[in-house]
Amino acid sequence: MDVKSKVLALKYRPKVFSDLIGQQVVSRTIYNSIKYNKIPNAYLFTGIRGVGKTTIARIIAKALNCKNDIDKLCSENLCESCNSISNSNHIDILEMDAASKTGVDDVRDLIEFSRYGPTYSKYKIFIIDEVHMLSKQAFNALLKTLEEPPDYLKFIFATTELKKIPITVLSRCQRFDLSRVKSEELFDYIKKISDLEKGNISDEALKLIVKISEGSVRDSLSLLDRALLSNDIGKKLELSDAQKIFGYFDKFHLIKIFEYVLKGDQNKTLEAYQNIYNQGVEPKIFLNDFLEIIYYFKNISFLDEATKNFDLNNEEFRLIKEISSSLNNETLILFWQFAIDTLGELDVVSDQNISVEMFLIRLIHIKSIKINYKNDSNTIGIQLDENKSDAKIQKKTDTVSQIKSVVQEKSLNNPETIKIKNNNLKIKSLNDLIELCNYKKELKLKYEIENNLNLVSFEHGKIEISINDKLEKDFIKILSAKLLEWTNERWIISLTKKTGEKSKKENEKEIKNKLFEDAKNTETYKKFLQTFADAELVDIKKKDD
């Protein structure tokens, strides 16, 4: 392929260790191991896409077989070996994609091929890309050769899924974790290439490319290639043009939407969002960027110019800092949770744009919603009132109350809890014991008592319970130890074959079922079903009167 016609990622692919960016520690370690002849049997490179795993593998192959010394590794005028490796036709360098050759038979062929020494090079090298795709049997077939290969044989593995590789293979390799390339370093790199390609691109547009690429060199070069092809000759590619090309938008508009939401201006909020949507920005991208903005509002006091990572310009940084001074953490945490929930909704709605609009409307009205803490999933509960003809609909959400939950408040105000605080530990009933477990935060013990304990008799210092296979085997031992610790008295806890009472949770469930049956027979519920035929009764609350 003509060099001029190559994509940038191939045209500017590093040829020697000094060409690599962002992996200086890895490069120096490998360079020293080859220079001082401390070469491992197998290398393993792991990291995200486009950070240089396969590129480093090829450079190692060149360094091991180059006709020159490693200090004079071919860069321009390539020797016969380096030229063959660069063109992927070296007879002693086998590069295999494990995604297409996953079976044990493929590995057996590889091992059989390894029995013969190199044709004209010093080393025979097997480069296996995406090695985690090999089957379990294929890995097992490779183990013996990997541990004790012939002196002339070296393995180089590359993977993006390290956890899928068996530990027996990992222990036989010298592992290198390739990190994402830092934004400043990646910016300097693509700016240099842009100048070499005579690309007329602004620094702000290049910074956007760096942000989208997320530390991947290959991604940044692919985006730069696209930007160069999209730009008209003689015209400078500005940030606004790049945003249209890549489907991204200016963070300033997102911050203004956030400001409109806080002010409760629904019309301006939806109008600003529609302007962004009309630019071709996908709802999922919008929500991910919205989450990023929430993060900045929450942590702006800890950030500075160095940690912004090109995400915000000076004006955006100043505006966020100004708005955040009047925000509390509770609001931001709720915004974050609603954004996460809406991201999940996008996969099930037919019109994602409408879902995002409803998300923004919910944020506008969120301060006027009274939130009850519940541990169950999001549902709509019906509160029935027999003295009125209408039914009240109550929204329950699993969003965490920022002060304390309703359950916690009840527990703290319970007379038994007050006794505990005053060190008046006279435990007269099972309910007293449950309250004590709650206060002492012995939640597992409390769970066992409420769900699996069938009580026969209870008095201070002595508890008799029915045999129940559901109880934890160490339940009696643990409960005895805790009671001794809390009351400074030894308690007798005995098991009996007598039939005990139902557990507390079983009793509560029976009472709840009875309430449900009674509620479903009321006129109020029947009238409600006439209006909302698909409604379901999920909760009942009894009024004190």
pLDDT tens series, the chain, 545 aa: 455 557 888 888 888 888 899 888 999 999 999 988 899 989 999 998 899 999 999 999 989 988 887 878 887 778 888 888 888 888 888 888 888 877 888 888 888 888 888 888 889 999 999 999 988 888 988 888 888 888 899 999 999 999 899 999 999 999 999 988 888 899 999 999 999 988 889 888 898 898 888 889 999 999 999 888 887 777 888 888 887 788 776 677 888 888 888 888 889 999 989 888 887 788 888 898 888 888 888 887 776 654 554 566 667 777 788 887 777 788 888 889 889 999 988 888 888 989 999 999 988 887 544 433 333 433 334 343 434 334 343 443 444 343 334 444 444 445 444 445 445 567 888 888 888 888 888 888 888 888 888 888 888 888 888 887 778 878 888 888 888 888 888 888 888 888 888 888 888 888 888 888 888 888 877 777 777 767 777 777 666 55
Instruction: Please tell me if the domain spanning 183-246 has the same topology as the one spanning 251-368.
Output: no
3-177, what's its fold? Answer: Rossmann fold (3.40.50)
Who's near 209: CB < 8 A, 6+ residues apart?
A: 190, 220, 223, 224, 227, 242, 246
pLDDT of residue 418: 42
CA distance linking residue 411 with residue 414, whole number of Å: 5
pTM (whole model) above 0.75: no
- The top-level CATH class assigned to 183-246 is mainly alpha
Place of tokens 């490796």: 85
112-to-73, 105, 115 alpha-carbon distances in Å: 31, 10, 6
pLDDT of residue 177: 92
CA distance linking residue 101 with residue 502, whole number of Å: 60
Span between the terminal Cα atoms of the chain, in Å? 86
pLDDT of residue 414: 52
Best CATH choice for the domain 251-368 from the list 1.10.510.10, 2.60.40.10, 3.40.50.300, 1.20.272.10: 1.20.272.10
Please state whether beta strands 392-396 and 379-383 pair in parallel, antiparallel, or not at all (unpaired). Answer: antiparallel
Q: Contacts from 399-408 at CB under 8 Å and sequence distance 24+?
A: 399/334, 399/337, 399/371, 399/373, 400/333, 400/373, 401/371, 401/372, 401/373, 402/329, 402/330, 402/333, 405/373, 406/372, 406/373, 407/373
3-state secondary structure 185-240: HHHHHHHHHHHHCCCCECHHHHHHHHHHHCCCHHHHHHHHHHHHHHCCCCCCECHH
Supply 114's token pair. Answer: 């390894």
pLDDT of residue 53: 92
How do the domains of the chain map onto residue ranges?
A: 3-177, 183-246, 251-368, 414-501
Please state whether beta strands 153-159 and 42-46 pair in parallel, antiparallel, or not at all (unpaired). Answer: parallel
pLDDT of residue 312: 64
Whether the Cβ atoms of residue 190 and residue 226 lie closer than 8 Å to each other = no
Place of tokens 């929500």: 287
pLDDT of residue 244: 79
Please state whether beta strands 153-159 and 455-459 pair in parallel, antiparallel, or not at all (unpaired). Answer: unpaired
